[in-house]
Amino acid sequence: SQTIHQWPATLVQPVGSPLSLECTVEGTSNPNLYWYRQAAGRGLQLLFYSVGIGQISSEVPQNLSASRPQDRQFILSSKKLLLSDSGFYLCAWSTGAEQPQHFGDGTRLSIL
Amino acid sequence: GIQVEQSPPDLILQEGANSTLRCNFSDSVNNLQWFHQNPWGQLINLFYIPSGTKQNGRLSATTVATERYSLLYISSSQTTDSGVYFCAVQGGGSNYKLTFGKGTLLTVNP
């Protein structure tokens, strides 16, 4: 069966520091991969999605970037974190467009 | 983009009660999912239901795509049902983005 892993589970970072969050999927090939952010405990917003290695689409302009160096690996990065980057970040996968998306357990990011 | 409205925003029940959560959306959809977010933040898939009716134990869901709404039914609620229930849709020209409603916060008291 397919599984999705995110790490770390929680992260506390100072303003201006870099960020790297990692997501990996097991048990499937060529998945669509997604990064969402949840702020203030309600509603998720899509940040990035990828349909293949090296293919990244951004939904909202921001201080973050994403990369997909391997088929089942999706990385969320920042060179310099802002206070507004705090939130709960969730990675998801699906077998294709319009197919159900399955979420990881998320990373709680606090910026001090 | 597509708009998603969920109601009620908050719901408090006694254990054993039944409830109905509603999701209205503003455009045709090609994907609709219901999720339960537990107190630890985990987002649990409940249903993938762009149309029709499905049941899973005490939970069932119905989507009437032509009228642009979906309903989630919870019967004989338990304290473990507490959490936030989200409706999320794909549509309005996007094949990838799930647009989430603001959720219904359900509290089930013993």
pLDDT at B66 over 80: yes
- A107-111 and A87-94 as β-strands: parallel, antiparallel, unpaired? antiparallel
Instruction: Assess A34–B contact: CB distance below 8 Å, yes or no.
Output: yes
State which residues form the domain around B73.
Answer: 4-109
Query: What is the mean predicted confidence (pLDDT) over B1-16?
Result: 96
pLDDT, residue A41, reads 62
Of A2, A8, A25, the closest CA to residue A71 belongs to A25
Q: Per the CB < 8 Å rule, is A100 touching B90?
A: no
pLDDT at B95 over 80: no
Which of A88, A90, A97 is nearest residue B96 as measured by Cβ atoms? A97
| Topology of domain A3-111, CATH | Immunoglobulin-like (2.60.40)
B109, B16 contact by CB (below 8 A): no
What gap in Å lies between CA A65 and CA A85, rounded to an integer? 12
8-state DSSP, B50: S
Mean of pLDDT over chain B: 95
Structural domain count of chain B: 1
Q: A79 vs chain B: nearest CA distance in angstroms?
A: 25
For chain A, the domains span 3-111
pLDDT at B50 over 90: yes
What gap in Å lies between CA A44 and CA A19, rounded to an integer? 20
Which of A43, A49, A105 is nearest residue B42 as measured by Cβ atoms? A105
- Give the domain CATH number at B55: 2.60.40.10
pLDDT, residue A27, reads 94
Helices (H) and strands (E) in chain A, counts: 0, 11
What gap in Å lies between CA B33 and CA A99, rounded to an integer? 10
Q: For each successive 10 residues of chain A (112 residues), what is the average pLDDT?
A: 93 97 95 92 88 91 91 96 94 93 96 94
pLDDT in tens, B32-46: 999 999 988 999 999
What gap in Å lies between CA B19 and CA A70, rounded to an integer? 44
Of A12, A73, A104, A69, the closest CA to residue B37 belongs to A104
pLDDT, residue B1, reads 86
Q: Name the percent of chain B lying above pLDDT 70.
A: 99
Chain A CA closest to residue B96: A97
